[in-house]
Amino acid sequence: MSYDFAPLLRSAIGFDRLARLVDDAVSNAPTHTSYPPYNIEKASDDVYRVTMALAGFGPEDVEVYLADNQLIIKGNAPRHGRTGEILHRGIATRAFERRFALADHIEISGAELVNGLLIISVQQMKPEALKPRRIPVTFGTTTRQVDTGVTEECDIAIGHAA
């Protein structure tokens, strides 16, 4: 199932990424797997953490990178030198690729593999231009017409009659 975003894109500028994101989410929904399991945590207003369970994977088996506003995590199946026959395989160690769409101004501040958990620290860095800022209100001088037809300057104060 695919949605046509043409009517939206005809009257909006810069939303093509959002349309692509929604289209990808809808088209990938049926094939979306739950392997490997992961959590997304919000540590504070602008700090997030992605934790992924990677039992049996080592740092050499995992690639984490950022491309085109996506966090991409790839795992290559680890090659262990086991000599015995596996009678039951309950721990999955297959190759995978997991992608997370990121908002603008997101930076990956680190990734570490600890006790079978890959922990990726993500921080939203708002540029100064997007941060809220206070605009000072000043009192100024303006001109007004007096009944005599003479123009004079007067001080204007907000909330007071002049």
Tell me if the bond preceding 36 is cis, omega within 30° of 0: yes
pLDDT digits (tens, 9 = 90+) for 28-49: 554 457 889 999 999 998 899 9
The structure's pTM equals 0.63
Strand order in the sheet with 70-75: 62-67, 70-75, 96-101
Question: Structural domain boundaries of the chain?
Answer: 1-32, 34-128
Q: Which residues of 103-138 are buried (b: 16+ CB within 10 A; e: fewer)?
A: eeebeeeebebeeeebbbebbeeeeeeeeeeeeeee
Cβ–Cβ contacts within 10 Å for residue 152, how many?
9
pLDDT digits (tens, 9 = 90+) for 46-87: 899 999 999 889 999 999 999 988 899 999 987 766 678 888
Do the Cβ atoms of 135 and 114 come closer than 8 Å? no
Fold of the 34-128 domain: Immunoglobulin-like (2.60.40)
